[in-house]
Structure 1
Amino acid sequence: MTRLLAALLIWFSLPADAARAEDSRLKVATTFTIIADMARNVAGDLAVVESITRPGADIHNYQPTPRDLVRATGADLILANGLNLELWFQQFLDKLGDVPTAVVSEGIAPIAISGGDYDGKPNPHGWMALDSALIYVDNIAAALAAADPANAAAYRANAEDYKARISATIAPLREAARTLPEPRRWLVTSEGAFSYLARDFGLNELFLWPINADAQGTPQQVRHVIDTIRVTGAPAVFSESTVSDRPARRIAAETGARYGGTLYVDSLSDAGGPVPTYLDLLRVTSATIVEELKDD
């Protein structure tokens, strides 16, 4: 801890990036890439938005570095997910000083985690459903407007446009999921990160471990999912991009279910990857689920 704080002091004492120092726009830091992309869509050219964590990072087990926190130096506003997602980051964010922070999940109906060390605590993956995504966007617009009142109308207009694009992309996929035959409405994944999507799409949820910070792929977890699939006939098993797919593939092989492929939930990819934006992440994940759960 002492070495890290010393390193932070060194980083913070360095001259700021010249381009950033001359930029008078609102400076916004977010705790991870998904919120950063949402904020960029709402802010447009009116703010500079930086994600503290990088593309591809597992946000549950992430260990921040001095360089990560330097990206938040001088921020006018920090956007956080809340729902206990950033507990590992709070002590470091406190070192940035008195920076206004907005929790973008405020107002969604939380779903409790079932099982594991976090049993009963709110599932933090609220961004993974259409209904709650629109709440996130509204909260981001309100936070930007409060930090930069002169551009409040532009932030609200951008937010309405962005919400319309999200709805136009995801609403048809949600409707397709809701019309699946009842026996095929099973979403089986490695992490229990899709509770909000499952609720929104009318799917039953089954997972190996509740959250990535818990034990992953234990024999007991694997056996429980295998036994449940044999009873329910769930047609496919998925895994997430930030964890090993081996447990999910083993379950598919032992039950006769298909391995449905990779879902994206905790992080965007880099610009050349399959989900460089939040809308891509929602679209690719939702479309993969619907396609794999349809009748053969």
Structure 2
Amino acid sequence: MNKKKIGIVILIVAILFAVGAIFENGIKKKEAVINQDNKLQIVVTSFPQYDFARAVAKDEADISMLIKPGVESHSYEPTPEDIQKIENADLFIYTGGENDEWVEGMLDSLDTSKTKLVKLEDCVTLIEEDETVGLEGVSTHSHEDHEDSDHEHSSEIEYDEHVWTSPKNAIKIIEKIERVLCELDEEKQETYSKNAQEYISEIDDIDMQIRDIVKHAKRKTLVFGDRFPFKYFVEEYGLDYKAAFPGCSDEMEPSADTISYLIDFIKEENIPVVLHVELSNEKVANTLAEETNTKTMCLNSVHNVSQQDFEKGVTYVSLMRENIETLKVALQ
């Protein structure tokens, strides 16, 4: 899932185009254009940030999401227009990590002196990514017998970037966004604080429901016939997991040994549900379900949403409430 090969060339070309477009079209300075409607201009890279910013700012800001609904976020490449939006923003929110490597280089090349930056990874305690998930016959929390892999990655620790999958982390991120908005727009501090606390209360309720489900659950293991972006979630609630792929791996097909191992595990443990993530082709999950006479269900990582769901106004909270219903079945 290494994205390092993407960044440098794409970034240089995109910035050159952006600079050319600025001069060619005579785009005005930020002060002249940014607040025509007297609203804060917020730019975010993906849906979790969009939802958290929306919850705190509501109608007091214009929010632009760079990675559009339904788009595979791991293959996103910034356009010149995207770069202009970031440079002209009052607040830019991004995740950080391998998936956002393009951001760090871009920020070094732009004038963001008047733009507040919020990096999700800076809001929480990071967890090292688990590359053993999905390996044939390997317990998900075991790091034994992988000395070659450990040596290969020892020079640079890779952290899981899906920090928002833990509701407790989501609260920390919202609190950070609230503080920054209050700094940017002091006259509306009371509004931002009220909005943030209302959303945090909803997420607190979700957290309590999940804890109750786990406390009374028959089992503690989730099986994913898919990628696995839930490290923060399972660590928060003390759950175990098995998955076809580690993290948000670029792999398309698991090995035959991995499939065989997961099939045996599902049968031996009487796992009732094979999980998949949102916007998945569900191919591996369906294969495992067919071979074990189980069913499939979605556990939504809230990484992105479909265009239809976006237009319907789904939120982090509404999707996590759907996850609660999934967990009730998966952990029975």
Q: TM-score range by the shorter chain?
A: 0.7 to 0.9
User: Any idea what SS the aligned residue of 2:243 has?
Assistant: strand
State which of 22, 36, 41 in structure 2 corresponds to 1:22.
36
The residue aligned with 1:178 is 215
Alignment partner of 1:137 is 2:151? no
The residue aligned with 1:260 is 297
The residue aligned with 1:103 is 119
The residue aligned with 1:7 is 17
User: Any idea what SS the aligned residue of 1:229 has?
Assistant: helix
The TM-score, its normalising length taken from structure 1, stands at 0.84
Identity %: 22
State which of 224, 239, 247 in structure 1 corresponds to 2:284.
247
Structure 2 distance, partners of 1:87, 1:67, is 18
The residue aligned with 1:205 is 241
Alignment partner of 1:192 is 2:228? yes
The residue aligned with 2:58 is 44
Task: Give the residue type in structure 2 aligned to 1:217.
Answer: E
Alignment partner of 1:115 is 2:134? no
Structure 2 distance, partners of 1:271, 1:97, is 36
Give the CA deviation at 1:93.
Answer: 4.3
Alignment partner of 1:216 is 2:216? no
User: Any idea what SS the aligned residue of 1:238 has?
Assistant: strand
Task: Give the residue type in structure 1 aligned to 2:217.
Answer: L
The TM-score, its normalising length taken from structure 2, stands at 0.76
The answer to whether the 8 A contact 1:193-1:265 is kept is: no
The answer to whether the 8 A contact 1:42-1:140 is kept is: yes
Per residue, is there more helix in 1 or in 2? Answer: 2
Of 262-271 and 132-141, the range deviating more from structure 2: 262-271
Give the CA deviation at 1:141.
Answer: 0.9
Structure 1 distance, partners of 2:72, 2:240, is 25
Structure 2 distance, partners of 1:247, 1:133, is 29
Structure 2 distance, partners of 1:56, 1:102, is 24
User: Any idea what SS the aligned residue of 1:241 has?
Assistant: coil
Q: Give the gaps of 5 or more residues in structure 2.
A: 1-9, 133-148
Alignment partner of 1:238 is 2:248? no
The answer to whether the 8 A contact 1:108-1:126 is kept is: yes
The answer to whether the 8 A contact 2:129-2:158 is kept is: yes
Give the CA deviation at 1:50.
Answer: 1.4
Matches within 5 A, 1:57-76: 57-76=71-90
Alignment partner of 1:158 is 2:168? no
Provide the aligned C-alpha RMSD in A: 3.0
CA distance 1:83–1:139, shift in 2 (3 Å): farther
The answer to whether the 8 A contact 2:302-2:316 is kept is: no
The residue aligned with 2:7 is none
**Pairs aligned (count):** 292
Give the CA deviation at 1:31.
Answer: 1.5
Deviations 1:169-204 (A, max 9, x none): 45324422331113xx22122112112222333321
Task: Give the residue type in structure 2 aligned to 1:112.
Answer: E
Structure 2 distance, partners of 1:11, 1:212, is 34
